[in-house]
Chain A
Amino acid sequence: MSAVTEAAAPRAKDKSQTRTYYWIVVPMVVLFAIFHTFPVLTGIFYSFTNYAGFGDYKMVGFANYINLFRDSRVLSAYGFSFLFAIVATILTNALSLVIALALNAKIKFRNFFRGVFFIPYVLAMLVIGYVFKFIFGTSLPKLLSGIPLFADNILTNQTWAWTAIVILAVWQSCAFAIILYLAGLQTIPEELYEAASLDGASVWQQFRSITFPMIWAYFTINVVLSVKGFLQVFDPIVALTNGGPGTSTESVTMLIQRGGLTGGEFAYQTANAVVFFIVITVLSLLQFRGMASKDSDF
């Protein structure tokens, strides 16, 4: 008798426990479906219509998708976004790694400098971007009046305005990347370097055969995150050029936002967004695979 109640009680309790767990998770799943998954699905639906953002619409099949590939403005937005993402990723990771290495050396005032390099992380890109706009538009033309590129305000230069956006974006992104690399460097045991220097390994050899392999995981994460983030670039463009001159610095995100919300191209730009999603996903997966296979070489 007592044995029966003893066995039944915990089971009943287990059941109510499990029910509580469901009560905790299910509402979040439902909310997430409503506010995240549902917009994704409606976006895919609209991409097959000619909806302008208001009024009636009808299904148009793949017409939006076919037109995307013929639209020179769309193609140039992809061109800009990729060029920007590649250059900004390389610069961010190269500069962050160098600064993290120097911060990890036995330098004076290390905590102070580490704190300084992280400042850009807490600043709004748009707001500090306006300060950079002043630097490029007012300060540099006076300070570098001997160099025509800067003297004429680089932001109004059709060919080179994108480099100013790269500088601003890299300036901010380095803050987080430096901290990540620094965390990676501090996981490397000191003894490895001591052993290597006893064996007469040069600084460069130590970096190539100890440091870099040991922080490979951090490097992978940083690069994949950088590419994904930079491809979606928006804020620094708004701050510096607003897509100009002409549409030479218009990114995909900017095109989707402008064309879709104010340009009467709602359905067309949702199709663009679906393509953009596929491009980013495929690219992220390829990067992870590529970098994972490189990993096994070490």
Chain B
Amino acid sequence: MSATTANTPAAAPAQTKKHRPGLHRINWWATAFIAVASLTVLIPLYLAVVVALKTPDQLLGGSGFEWPTEVRWANFSEAWTAADYPTTLANTGIITVLTVIFTILTSSIVSWALARNMHRPFFKGAFFYFLSAMFIPFPIIMLPLVKQTAAFGLDNKWGMIILYTIFGISMNSFIYTAYVRSIPLELEEAARVDGASTWRVFWKVIFPLLAPMNATVGILTCVWAWNDYIMPLVVLTDPSDRTLVLAQSIFQGQYNIDHTVSFASYLMAMAPLLLVYIFAQRWVISGVTRGSIK
């Protein structure tokens, strides 16, 4: 994918310049259309920022889009305590980071074992067993799962990590196995001849080669675990385990919502992932693309 993007603007003019110069001129109509369309994405974000910077007085009577005349940084410090930012950020951070680590470690090795043994009925069966779960929507298991996690004492953030890691195998085995098949078996056999055990073969030879897929699975899992709402909502019971997203709903219950503070809180909830995305944009997009095309 990155190859095609690099190809089109840079290499193409050089090739075709001689006979068809008109074909590779900038399409200004499309550029204008895209610029206008991109405003639909940027306007809500602009609103979130300017409202979070205002004093409550400035918000009164306006539409919210007006540029702030006076910046009130206290919105952020008030939101910090109102939504218990340190605790909820830590909860979401722990859940997301550990889920991503466990998911990559388990999904990769399980998928590898599946892909290398597809000729055996058990492994083939297990692969389709995981895969078929993709067709089972979450609402189906939601109610019994709530009972079960409570009975197991897993109605907390550790339970969330376990559930994300296990549920993730459905899609991840699909993503990984296709890629594993493209890795030549000779590589593993060569390591085995040198006396490496199956474990060593995987962690020393295969796992590093899976790096692009590890990145893809890591990104998809990270976005899922960080932004998920319904699973923490029904599984978590102790308020001290509340995630960042769950905590944002507290402003809605208030009799009179202080929008400037709540918007500061929304910004702080979205900021970590948004910042990561801004700095690693190309990497994230190519990672997600790799997961969706085969």
Query: Hey, which chain B residues are within 8 Å of A221, CB to CB?
Result: 292
Which of A40, A122, A176 gathers the greatest number of chain B CB atoms within 10 Å? A122
Other-chain contact of B137, A109, A119, A280 (Cβ < 8 Å): A280
| Residue B110, interface by CB 8 Å | yes
Contact of A232 with B143 in the complex, beta carbons under 8 Å: no
Give CA–CA (A20, B197) in the complex, Å.
9
The reply on A216 being an interface residue by CB < 8 A is: no
Q: Chain B contact residues: over half helix, strand or loop, or mixed?
A: helix
Contact indicator per residue, chain A 79-118, by CB within 8 Å of chain B (1) or not (0): 0000000000000000000010011011111110111111
- Determine if A228 is an interface residue (Cβ-Cβ < 8 Å): yes
Is the Cβ of A127 less than 8 Å from the Cβ of B248? yes
| Contact present for A126 and B249 (CB under 8 Å) | yes
Of the candidate stretches A62-70, A135-143, A156-164, A290-298, the one touching chain B is: A135-143
Q: Across the interface, which residues of A come within 8 angstroms of B117, CB to CB?
A: 18, 21, 25
**A111-B282 CB under 8 A given contacts A43-B140, A106-B26:** yes
List residues of B (114-149) whose CB comes within 8 Å of A's CBs.
Answer: 114, 116-117, 122-123, 126, 129-130, 133, 135-148
Would you give the shortest CB distance from A269 to chain B, in whole angstroms? Answer: 6
B166 part of interface (Cβ distance < 8 Å):
yes
Contacting pair B166 A35 (CB below 8 A): yes
Q: Which of A36, A108, A194 has the most B CB atoms < 10 Å from its CB?
A: A36
Check B198–A105 contact: CB distance below 8 A.
Answer: no
Q: State the Cβ distance, B190 to closest chain A Cβ, in Å.
A: 15
Q: Does chain B have a CB within 8 A of A169?
A: no
Verify if A183 is at the interface (C-beta below 8 Å from B): yes
A274 CB-CB contact with B under 8 Å: yes
B27 touches A130 (CB 8 A): no
Interface centre among B40, B51, B143, B198 (most CB of A within 10 A): B143
- A122 near B274 with CB under 8 A, answer yes
The answer for the CA separation of A25 and B112 in the assembled complex, in Å, is 10
Query: In chain A, what residue has the closest Cβ to B245?
Result: A124
Contact check, A277 vs B136: say whether CB atoms are below 8 A apart: yes
Interchain CB contact under 8 A, A32 and B44: no
Contacting residue for A277 out of B27, B140, B197, B233, CB 8 A: B140
Contact pick for A17, options B27, B198, B288, CB 8 Å: B198
Please report the C-alpha to C-alpha distance between residue A122 and residue B79 in the assembled complex, in whole angstroms. Answer: 21
Number of chain B residues close to chain A: CB under 8 A:
100
Q: Cβ of B106 and Cβ of A123 under 8 Å apart? A: no
Of the candidates A99, A186, A194, A273, the one whose C-beta lies within 8 Å of that of B140 is: A273
Q: Please tell me if A78 contacts chain B, counting CB pairs below 8 Å.
A: no
Is A42 located at the chain interface by the 8 A CB criterion? yes
Chain B minimum-CB-distance residue to A168: B44
* Contacting pair A102 B63 (CB below 8 A): no
Indicate if the CB atoms of B27 and A40 lie closer than 8 Å. Answer: no
Contact for A21 among B123, B148, B244, B276, CB less than 8 A:
B123
Q: Which of B29-37, B68-76, B210-218 contacts A (4 or more CB under 8 A)?
A: B29-37
B99 at the interface (CB under 8 A from A): no
Enumerate chain A residues within 8 angstroms of B116, measured Cβ to Cβ. 21
A274 nearest in chain B by CB position: B140
Which residues of B lie under 8 Å from residue A116 when comparing CB positions?
38, 41-42
Is B221's beta carbon under 8 Å from chain A?
A: no
When distances are taken between beta carbons in the complex, the residues of chain B under 8 Å from A154 are none
Q: Which of B23, B143, B252 contacts A273 (CB 8 A)?
A: B143
- Chain B's closest residue to A54 (CB) is B147
B226 within 8 A of A: yes
Most buried by A among B24, B30, B130, B163: B30
The 3 A-B pairs at the shortest CB distance, nearest first, are namely: A124-B227, A39-B144, A105-B30
Could you list which residues of chain A lie within 8 angstroms of chain B, going by C-beta atoms? 13, 16-18, 20-22, 24-25, 28-29, 31-32, 35-40, 42-43, 46, 53, 99, 102-103, 105-111, 113-128, 130-132, 134-135, 138-139, 142-143, 171, 176, 179-180, 183-184, 186, 190, 194, 218, 221, 228, 231-232, 234-235, 238, 252-253, 256-257, 260-261, 266, 269-270, 273-274, 276-277, 280-281, 284
